[in-house]
Structure 1
Amino acid sequence: MGISVILVLISTIIILTSIIYVGTRKSKKQFHYVYMMLVSSVLIWCIGALGEVATEDVYHFDPFIQTCNYFGIALVSVFILLLGVVFTHTRIVITSRFALLFILPIGSAIAVATNERHHLFMKVFCIIIKDAVLGPLMWAHYIYCYIFIAIGMSYLIKYAVNNSGLFSKQAMTLVAGMCTPLAINVLTSFGIISGGCYSTIPGIVIMILLIGIATLKLDMFNIVPIALQKIVDHISDGFIVIDENRKIIDSNKAAQLWLSDKHEIRRNQDFKEFMDSLKIENLDTSKLLDYIKMSFEKKDSISFDTLIKFENGICYFNIEVTPMFSKNKYIGTIILYRNTTKYIENLQMIKEYQLLLENNLEKVTRDKQELLIRSAIMEKMSKTDALTDMYNHRTFQEYFDTIIDQASRADNRFQLALLDIDNFKKINDTFGHSVGDIILKRISSIIKTMVTVDDISARYGGEEFALILTNKTLEQSLALLESIRKAIQDESHIELNSNVTVSVGVHEYYKGEPKEELFNKADEALYKAKHSGKNKIVASTVYNLGL
Structure 2
Amino acid sequence: MLLILSTLVVLYFLLLVAKRTPKKQIHYAVLSITASILLWNVAVLLYLTFDKVPWIQAICERLYFLGAIFVSISILFTGLIFAQTKIKFIWKHALLFVVPVISIIVLFTNQSHHWFYTVFSLIPSKQIFGTYFIIHTIYSYLCIGIGLAYLVIFSIKNYGIFSRQSSLIFIGIMISLIIDAISTFKIFNWSTAIENIAFAVTISFFIIATVKFDFLNVVPIALQTVVDLISDSYVVIDEDFKVIDYNKAFVGGFTGVSRKIGIMEIIKKNYGALDVKRFMDFLDEAVREQKKVGFEMLKPMDEAIVYYMVEITPIYISGNHIGTIILKQNITEHKNNLQEVMQLNERLQSLATRDWLTQSYNRYFFDERLQQEIDLVNRLQAYGRESEKKVNAFGLIMFDIDYFKIYNDNNGHPAGDELLQTIVTVVKEVLYPTDILCRYGGEEFAIICCHTSEKGIKTAAEKIRKAVEGYDFRFQDKQPGGNLTVSIGAVYCSTANVKRKDLIKKADEYLYLAKSSGRNKAVFND
TM (normalized to structure 2)?
Answer: 0.51
Contact 1:71 1:106 in 2 (8 A): no
Q: Who is 1:294 aligned against?
A: 285
Provide the secondary structure at the position in 1 that maps to 2:167. helix
Aligned with 1:8 (options 3, 10, 19):
3
> Take 2:19 and 2:332, find their aligned partners in 1: how far apart are those partners?
58
Aligned with 2:257 (options 260, 263, 276): 263
The corresponding residue for 2:38 is 43
Letter in 2 for 1:201: N
Give the aligned partner of residue 374 of structure 2. none
* Structure 2 match to 1:282: 272
Shift of 1:123: 3.7
The correspondence of residues 135-284 of structure 1 with structure 2, limited to 5 A, is: 135-164=130-159, 168-211=163-206, 213-214=208-209, 217-219=212-214, 222=218, 230=226, 233-235=229-231, 237-242=232-237, 248=243, 250-260=245-255, 262-264=256-258, 266=259, 269=260, 273=262, 275-276=264-265, 280=269, 282-283=272-273
Q: Which residue of 1 aligns with 2:326?
A: 335
> Unaligned regions of 5+ residues in structure 2, if any?
339-526
Deviations 1:345-386 (A, max 9, x none): 999xxxxxxxxxxxxxxxxxxxxxxxxxxxxxxxxxxxxxxx
Q: Is the partner of 2:262 in helix, strand or coil?
A: helix
2:76 equivalent to 1:81: yes
User: Which structure ranks higher in relative contact order (CA pairs < 8 Å, sequence separation ≥ 6)?
Assistant: 2
Counterpart in the other structure of 1:482:
none
The secondary structure found in structure 2 opposite 1:168 is helix
What do residues 295-341 of structure 1 show as CA deviations (whole Å, max 9, x unaligned)?
Answer: 2333444345667799x999776544234568988665332335678
The change in CA–CA distance for 1:164 and 1:116 in structure 2 (over 3 A counts) is same
Deviation at 1:70, TM superposition (A): 0.3
Question: 1:33-54 CA distances to partner (integer Å, 9 max, x unpaired)?
Answer: 3422321221111122124445
Conserved 8 A contact 1:71-1:105? no
Alignment match of 1:111 (pick from 98, 106, 109): 106
SS of aligned partner of 2:236? strand
* Aligned mate of 1:23, from 6, 18, 24: 18
Cα deviation code 1:54-80 (max 9, x no counterpart)? 5879x9994222111101111212322
* 1:512-531 to 2 correspondences below 5 Å: none
Structure 2 Cα separation of the partners of residues 223 and 196 of structure 1: 38
Distance change in 2, residues 1:102/1:45 (3 Å): farther
Change (3 A) 1:118 1:290: same
2:115 is the counterpart of 1:120: yes
Q: In the TM superposition, what whole-angstrom CA distance separates every residue of 1:379-419 from its partner, at most 9, and x where no partner exists?
A: xxxxxxxxxxxxxxxxxxxxxxxxxxxxxxxxxxxxxxxxx
Deviations 1:261-305 (A, max 9, x none): x433x4xx4xx7354478727357676455333223334443456
Gap change, CA 1:24 and 1:338, over 3 Å in 2: closer
- Sequence identity, in percent? 29
Higher-Rg structure is: 2
Question: Can you list the C-alpha shifts for 1:148-167, whole angstroms capped at 9, x where unaligned?
Answer: 32333344444444443899
> How far did 1:21 drift?
2.0
Question: Offset of 1:12 from its aligned partner?
Answer: 0.6
C-alpha root-mean-square deviation of aligned residues, in Å? 4.8
Partner of 2:65: 70
Amino acid at match of 1:256: V
Q: Is contact 1:166–1:172 with CA below 8 Å preserved after alignment?
A: no
Residue by residue over 1:445-486, the C-alpha shift from the partner in whole angstroms, topping out at 9 and shown as x without a partner, is xxxxxxxxxxxxxxxxxxxxxxxxxxxxxxxxxxxxxxxxxx
Q: Which 5+ residue runs of structure 1 have no aligned equivalent?
A: 1-5, 348-547
Residues 473-513 of structure 1, C-alpha deviations (whole Å, 9 max, x = no match): xxxxxxxxxxxxxxxxxxxxxxxxxxxxxxxxxxxxxxxxx
- The letter of the residue matching 2:37 is V
Structure 1 length-normalised TM: 0.49
Deviation at 1:210, TM superposition (A): 3.4
Provide the residue aligned with 2:344 in structure 1: none
CA 1:181–1:226: 2 relative to 1, 3 Å: closer
